Structures are given as C-alpha cells and as structure tokens.
A = this chain, B = another copy of it.
Amino acid sequence: MSLTRVLFVAAAATVGLGVALADQPFSSELDARKGQFKMLAFNIGPLVGMAQGNIEYDAATAQMAADNIVALASLHQTRLWPAGSDNESIDNTRALPAIWENSEDFAAMFDDLGSAARDMQAAAGTDLNALRGQLRALGGACSACHEAYRQPE
C-alpha cells in the first residue's frame, strides 16, 4: 500500500468518526478515554471474579489480565484530557472539573494505578492468595480516582 493510500484511508476514517458525532465536542477524546476505561474494567473483571470465587482461578488468565492492566496504566494521558472536556462544559462525560484544577494529583493517581498494577502483575500468576493480596491496592487505586474525579452516577 502506498503512503498516499495509507493517508487517504486514515483521513477517511477520521472523517467518518467526525460525521457520526459532529455535534459532540471532543468526541474522539471521549471515545478514546472511555475506551481505555472499558479496557481496564474488562481486565480487572477476571481478577475480581477469581478473588470472589465466581471464576475458577487460572494463573495464565490472571497473568494476562494483570499484564494488560500494566500496559493500559502506562499510556500517556496528555492528549486525552484537553481543557474544556469536563462534565460542566460538555455532555457525555463524567470527568469532573477538579481534574484540571488538580492536574498534578490526577497524574499522580495514574502513577498509583501503575504501581498497584505492577504489584498485581508480580502476584497474579502465582496463586489465588497472592492475587487476593494485591487486589485491595489495585481496586483502591481505581476507586480513589473515581471518588475524586468522576461524577457519581
């Protein structure tokens, strides 16, 4: 495929997204950041399910889920959170203005998530007790940020 063709396909995809949500400010940012949280939830799910006993412990599945959370927590966040994309400025987001008023704290909470995720990565594939031992810190990192920076439902 030529570079011109690659650029054309990419541009067409961008236009397509723009048409679908033409009236939604920051639609691609909202799609992307919701996407990342869907991915995080999808990977925390089996760890919680195993800890609760609702899913049988499987070391390989637990390890892959933890690996994925580490990768997701490592993503650079800068472009995802433009000023004006809070829930008082636009619809379809629960992101509180406090994110932008406390941007260093918000960034530090992502670092906390990364730290808890790496601890889980080192434990999840060992056994169920090791997984359970790291889940409080990982779930706590999620919840701390949600409580500070996400509008309650």
Interface residues on A, range: 35 or more
Residue A125, interface by CB 8 Å:
no
Chain B residues closer than 8 Å to A43, beta-carbon distance = 32
Q: Which of A11-19, A91-99, A100-108 contacts B (4 or more CB under 8 A)?
A: A11-19
Q: Can you list, as one digit per residue, whether each of A26-48 has a CB less than 8 Å from chain B (1) or not (0)?
A: 00110110111111011111101
Chain B nearest CB from A66 CB (Å) reads 10
- Contacts known (A32-B42, A35-B35, A36-B39); A153 close to B16, Cβ less than 8 A: yes
In the bound complex, CA of A39 to CA of B35 (Å): 6
Chain B nearest CB from A67 CB (Å) reads 6
Cβ contact within 8 Å between A10 and B136: no
Partner of A11, one of B9, B48, B78, B80: B48
Interface set of A (CB-CB < 8 Å, partner B): 1-3, 6-7, 9-11, 13-14, 16-17, 28-29, 31-32, 34-39, 41-46, 48, 51-52, 61, 64-65, 67-68, 71-72, 74-76, 78-80, 132, 135-136, 139-140, 143, 153
